[in-house]
Structure 1
Amino acid sequence: MAAENRFGRRTFLAAAGLGLALTGCATGTSRPSASVSAPSGTFVLAHAARPAGLDPSRRNSQETSRVSAQILEGLVTADRSTGEPAPGLAESWTVSDDRRSVTFSLRRGVVFHDGSALDAAAVKANFDKWQAQAESDESWAPRCAFATTFRHGHTNPQVGTAYAGTEVKDEHTVVLRLTRPYTPLLTALTQPAFGIASPRSITDGSGERHPVGTGPFRFDSATETAVKLVAHERYWGELGDVGTLEMRVIPDADVRCAALLSGEVDAYDLVGLDAFGPLARKGVQVLYRDPYSVSYLGLNPSATILRDVNVRRAVAAAIDRSAIAKNLFPNGTNVADQFVPARFNVDGDDLAIPGYDPQHAKDLLRASTYKGQKLPFYYPRSTSRMYLQEPERVYAQISAQLTRAGFAITPVPVDWEDGYADIVTDPSKDHAFSLLGWSGSFRDPDSFMAPLLGNPDSQMGFADNGIMTAVNRAAAMETGDARNAAYKALNDRVSDVVPAVPLCHPVSAVAVNSRVASFPLTSTGFERFNELQLA
C-alpha cells in the first residue's frame, strides 16, 4: 500500500483466491468466547509514521492497517505462513459453481467491543458502507480497497464493477454476490481494509477516530505520537501475552534504533541501513520479511514531456537499479524489472524496460521531444516505508544519474506528514518525477496490478485502456497456467510502455529486544500481536 491518504494532525489528535483456486468450502473451529482475565504483559512497537486515519477501508496506510488489524477482523484471515485464506469471523464458506457468489457462515457468540453481537446484518452494514465510500466523490474513493478490489465506483467502461451486493440469508449466514468471477476474492478479503466494524460505529461515524471491532485488542487512546490498545476480555479467540499494546511514532530510523537499545521500546519496524551492523554486534535479533513491495520512480502522465515514450525509456536507461538495490536497501533486496514480486513466478518472458546504459539514455533523449526543460523531482523526507527505507539517499543517487544523462532536475523535498503521497499521486500537481512504491496487502498479483494500473484513477495515473482491460481480465481467470501466462504477457506489455520505472523489491526488517520469544512476522507487515509471545 502506498498512496497513503493523509489522516492529518488535527483529526488524529481528536482521537486523543475468489482465492478460487479455491474449490468449494473451508471450515474452522470456533474457540470459547467467555470473558477471561486480560493478559498483564505490555509491549511497545515503534513505527515510522502516524496512521493516516484509523479506518482502513478509507486509508491506504501501512500504519493504519497495522493498528486496525488488532481491532477489526475480517470474514477471512490470512495464514501467517502461506497467506492463504483461513477462517476468521466466518468459520466456513462455500463458493458457487459459477464462482459468482460466496456463502459465509459466521461464528456464533462473537461480540463487538461495544457489546453488540456479530451477525449477518452487521456484515452487510459494512459492505454497504464500503460500497457507498467507493461511490462517493471523496478524492481517496477511487483508490480505497473496495474500489480497487471490486472495480467499483469507476465511470470508465473498461472497469465495470464486479460487486453485485450482499444478502442476509439468516442471522448467521451472509451471501456475497459478484457480477463476474474474481479469482483472488477470498484472499483479497484478508486485507485489514475489510475488517468488520460495529454497526453502531458506522452509524455514528466514529470509526475514523475510535474504531470498534471484534478483535483481540480494543482502542484505548491516541495522541500525536502513539496509539494505545488494550486486550478485549470478551475476545472469542486466544488473547496471548500482551494486555497493553502501544504503537509509537518515531519517524527517524536512527532514533527508533536508539529507542530499542535504551529499552524505551520493545521492537521497531523498518531497520535502517546503518543499524544492521550495530544491532548485530549487540546481539539484537533482526527479523527479515520476504520482498513483498515494489519501489519505483513515478512518472507523471500529465507532464507533457513524459508523454513521449522515448523520454520515459531514457529515464529508465539512466538509472542504475542494481547499484541502488545493492547500496541503498537491505541485503536480500531484488532488482525490479516489473512491478509484481518474484514470488508469483509471473516474470515477463520479453521484458522491454531498458537496463542501465547512460549512453543509450543520452541517445534516446536526443531523439526525443525533451529540450532541457526543468523537471520537478519530488521525494519524501522524515519517513521510512516498507518499499523505501532511505528515501533521501535514493533520491540523491537517482537525481545524479538523471543529471548525467542530460535531464535538468529541480529537487522538491516534502515531509511525509505534509501529505507527500497525496501530492505525488495527483496528476494535476507539478511533479514530473517522484519516489513512491506499493506494499502488497494480499497474496495475488492483483494486489499490485489493480491498485497501480487497474483503473483510470490508479496510483500511477497511467490510464491505458488496453492495460486496464488486461489487468481486469487476468484477475477473473481461474488459477492455473493460463492465468500465469496472462500475467507474464501483462508484465511484458507494461515494461514496454514504461508507466513508471520499477527500482527494486525490497526486504524490510523488524528488530526486537530480549523480551520477545516469538514475533508473528508477516510479509505484508500486518502482524497480529495477540500471537506475540513474550519471554
Structure 2
Amino acid sequence: MRHAFVLPLREKNRKQFGTSTLAVRSGLALVLALGVAACSSNNSGSAAGSATGAATPRPGGTLTVDIASKPLCLDPQNNNSNGNTAISRQLVDSLTDQDPATGEPRPWLATSFQSDATATSFTFKLRAGATFSDGAAVDAAAVKANFDTIVKLGAVDAVGSSYLTGYQDTKIIDSLTATVTFTQPNAQFLQATSTAALGLLSPASLATSPQDRCQGRGLAGSGPFVLKDAGQGQQIKLTGRQGYSWGSSLWKHQGAAFLSEIDYNVVPESAVRAGSLASGQVTGVIGVDPQDERTLANAGAVELTRSVPGIVYNLTANTTHPILADDVVRKAITKGIDRAQIASTLLSPHYKPATSILSSSTPDYTNLSSDLAYDPAGAEALLDADGWKPGADGVRAKGGTRLTVQLVYPGVDTTSRNVLQLVQQQLTKVGIDAQLQGLALNQLAPAQNAGQYDLLWFGLTRADPDILRTAFAVSAKNRARLPAGNPLETALGDQAATLDAGKRKALAATAQQLIVRDAYAIPVYEQIQFDAFAPSVHGAALDASAQPELFDTWLAR
C-alpha cells in the first residue's frame, strides 16, 4: 500500500477576511483554537484591518513590528524559540505546508509527495523554477544537502535532527525528484517537512558555520522575504523578494509578497510594545502579554490569536535529582497547582488551563483533566504517607532534607515569572519550597542541555503529537532525564513507526497518560499566540504552528 499526496498547487487557498475590530472581538472560535476567543469563524487564524476604502490589496509599504527579545539565532534549522521562528519562517520555504484546519500536508516546494507502506521511504516531486535568494536552484540536490547537513549538526540542531531520526539517505532520482529513506519507520516525517526547522537553505548557506548562519551571515533561503540587515539582533530588516512565485498552495495570492519590507524591533517591555502600537508608532506586535490585551482592544487594534499546538507550558522534572526521583513528590506537585486560578487571575479569557501535556489544538490530543484536578488535601496526604513532615516554617522535610525544588525559566518572560510566582505560593501551602531561577536566554539552553534544573519551565510548538518524542525520548532531548528502555520511550517510538491513524492516536494517548500520571512533567496552561496589528494591516495569518504568516499581508495607505 502506498500513501500518496498529489494535489494541485492552488487546490485550497488560505482564507482571509476583512472584519472590523468589533467583529474581531466577537468571540467566535477558530477551529483548532477550541474555545479561545479569535478573529473570525474561519479556520485559518487570519486577520485584517478595517481601513476605509481598503478593498483591494496594494503592494508596497513597510510593516513595523515590535518583538519581545533578541533572536538568538536567525537560522530556522538551528532554533530554540517561537520568537526566533516568527522571523526565520519568512525566509525559508518548506517541501510541504500544513492545513491549519485539518492538519493535512499540502504542496509547497513539492507539488506532490508520497510514502511507502512502511513509512521508511518518502518521494517528493519538486516544482520547477524555484530558486534560493543567492540564485541557486531548489532541486533534488539541494534537498539532499539540507537533510544531510541537519543530521550532521546533530545536537546543534536538536529539533530538526529529531525529525530525521533514523535518516539513511536522500536519493536524487532526477533534478526535481528526491526520495528520502530511513532505517526505521518515521510516520511523522511528512508533517515535519512543513516546519521551519526543515525549511530549505541554499547549499552555499549550508557550507557556512552554524555560528555565521545564526547571525544571518550567508543565510539564503527560497522564501518570499530575504534578510537585509540583522542589526546585531536588535533591529532586523527583511525585504520582499523580487520574482518570487512559488508560494504555498494554502496562501491566498500568487507571485511576490505584497510588503516591500518588514522591520522588527526588539522591545523587552510588554507595556511599551503595546503602547507603541496603540499610539501608531508601529503597525504590529508579535507576542502580546495578557495584561496588555485591554490596552490594545481599547485602541482598536486587530487581534490575531490561536491556541498553540504542541507541548503546553509545564514544569518538567529532572528525575535524576534525588527529591524528584520520588514520584510521590512529583504527583504532589501536580495536585498542588491550581490551574484555574492561574488562568483566571494572571492570564485572560484567551488562555486555558492545561488538560494534558499536549494542548487541545494538537492532533491526537487526549483529555486528562481529571488527572490534573487541583487537590491540595490529596497532595498533603501523599507527602504525609511518604514521610515528608511539615517543619516549623511549614516546609516539609524528610531525613534532614528540606522539600526544596528549583524552578528554572526564561527570565525575560514576565508572564512566566508571574505565573511561577503564583505556583510558588500554591506549593508553599502544601509544604513544598519552590525556588525560582530566571535565566537569560543564552544561559537557558546550556542549562537545559546539561540538566541543571529540578523543574524546567518550557513549552514546545508543533502540530503533531511526535513533539512528545522530541522532548521526552531518551534518543532526543530527554528533558525528564529518563533511563533507556522505559515504557514512555516504547510508546513514543511506536507512534512514530505507524501510519495507521487509529493506532497512532492510541499510542499518543498512552504517551500522554504516562507523562501526566507519572508526573514526568506537570502541565500548567496552554500556550496562546497573540499578535496584534493596526487597522491598516490586512491579511496577516497564523499558520498551523501558530507562527505569523505575512506573505498575504498588505497595508492600506
Alignment TM class, shorter chain as reference: 0.7 to 0.9
Find out whether 1:339 has 2:357 as its counterpart.
yes
- Unaligned 5+ residue runs, structure 1? 1-19, 32-37, 152-160, 385-389
**Partner Cα distance (2:299, 2:469) in 1:** 43
Match of 1:101 among 105, 121, 133: 121
Tell me what 2:459 maps to.
437
**Partner Cα distance (2:331, 2:501) in 1:** 33
Q: CA deviation digits over 1:132-179, x for unaligned, max 9?
A: 112xxx5x45x3322x2133xxxxxxxxx2x22101111111111122
**Partner Cα distance (1:168, 1:425) in 2:** 35
Report deviation, 1:344. 4.8
Find out whether 1:403 has 2:436 as its counterpart.
no
- Superposed, 1:172-183 pairs within 5 Å as 172-183=176-187
Q: How many pairs align?
A: 482
Tell me what 2:196 maps to.
192
Tell me what 1:166 maps to.
170
Match of 1:454 among 458, 463, 473: 473
Tell me what 2:150 maps to.
130
**Partner Cα distance (1:418, 1:103) in 2:** 38
**Amino acid across the alignment from 1:229:** L
Tell me what 1:157 maps to.
none
**Amino acid across the alignment from 2:444:** Y
**Partner Cα distance (1:500, 1:180) in 2:** 28
Q: CA deviation digits over 1:292-315, x for unaligned, max 9?
A: 251112322232111001111111
**Partner Cα distance (2:119, 2:459) in 1:** 32
**Partner Cα distance (1:350, 1:241) in 2:** 44
Contact 1:297 1:502 in 2 (8 A): yes
Tell me what 2:160 maps to.
145
Q: CA deviation digits over 1:479-531, x for unaligned, max 9?
A: 43232222222222222211010011133311110211221223523223222
**Amino acid across the alignment from 2:194:** T
Report deviation, 1:39. 4.6
3-state DSSP of counterpart to 2:272: helix
Match of 1:509 among 522, 530, 551: 530
3-state DSSP of counterpart to 1:204: coil
Tell me what 1:270 maps to.
287
Contact 2:163 2:188 in 1 (8 A): no
Report deviation, 1:394. 0.5
Distance verdict in 2 for CA 1:270–1:459, change over 3 Å: farther
3-state DSSP of counterpart to 1:288: strand
3-state DSSP of counterpart to 2:542: coil
Q: CA deviation digits over 1:92-124, x for unaligned, max 9?
A: 223234432122111112221111222211111
Distance verdict in 2 for CA 1:300–1:352, change over 3 Å: farther
Match of 2:375 among 351, 354, 357: 357
- Percent identity, aligned pairs only, is 26
Distance verdict in 2 for CA 1:126–1:280, change over 3 Å: same
Q: Which TM-score applies when normalising by structure 1? A: 0.84
Distance verdict in 2 for CA 1:83–1:515, change over 3 Å: farther
3-state DSSP of counterpart to 1:399: helix
Higher alpha-carbon deviation: 49-58 or 392-401: 49-58
Report deviation, 1:187. 1.3
Tell me what 1:25 maps to.
5
Find out whether 1:279 has 2:296 as its counterpart.
yes
- Unaligned 5+ residue runs, structure 2? 12-57, 247-254, 389-396
Q: CA deviation digits over 1:56-104, x for unaligned, max 9?
A: 2222221322222211111112235444222121122232344321221
Distance verdict in 2 for CA 1:422–1:373, change over 3 Å: same
Match of 2:329 among 301, 311, 330: 311
Report deviation, 1:418. 4.2
**Partner Cα distance (2:318, 2:119) in 1:** 37
Tell me what 2:220 maps to.
212
Q: CA deviation digits over 1:396-425, x for unaligned, max 9?
A: 10111111111223332333x342244245
3-state DSSP of counterpart to 1:77: strand
**Partner Cα distance (2:449, 2:338) in 1:** 24
Report deviation, 1:266. 0.8
Find out whether 1:486 has 2:507 as its counterpart.
yes
**Partner Cα distance (2:551, 2:412) in 1:** 30
**Partner Cα distance (2:531, 2:278) in 1:** 13
Tell me what 2:76 maps to.
56
**Amino acid across the alignment from 1:150:** L
Find out whether 1:426 has 2:430 as its counterpart.
no
**Partner Cα distance (2:141, 2:476) in 1:** 32
Q: CA deviation digits over 1:302-361, x for unaligned, max 9?
A: 321110011111111111112112222231322223212223574557777452122221
Contact 1:330 1:507 in 2 (8 A): no
Find out whether 1:260 has 2:269 as its counterpart.
no
Match of 2:517 among 496, 502, 508: 496
**Amino acid across the alignment from 2:227:** F
- Superposed, 1:384-395 pairs within 5 Å as 390-395=415-420
Tell me what 1:475 maps to.
496
Higher alpha-carbon deviation: 229-238 or 418-427: 418-427
Report deviation, 1:216. 0.8
Report deviation, 1:291. 4.0
Contact 2:307 2:361 in 1 (8 A): no
3-state DSSP of counterpart to 1:236: coil
**Amino acid across the alignment from 1:342:** S
**Partner Cα distance (1:455, 1:352) in 2:** 28
Tell me what 1:35 maps to.
none
**Partner Cα distance (2:222, 2:468) in 1:** 31
- Superposed, 1:239-250 pairs within 5 Å as 239-250=256-267
3-state DSSP of counterpart to 2:345: helix
Match of 1:330 among 318, 331, 348: 348
3-state DSSP of counterpart to 1:419: helix
**Partner Cα distance (1:277, 1:493) in 2:** 39
**Partner Cα distance (1:144, 1:346) in 2:** 20
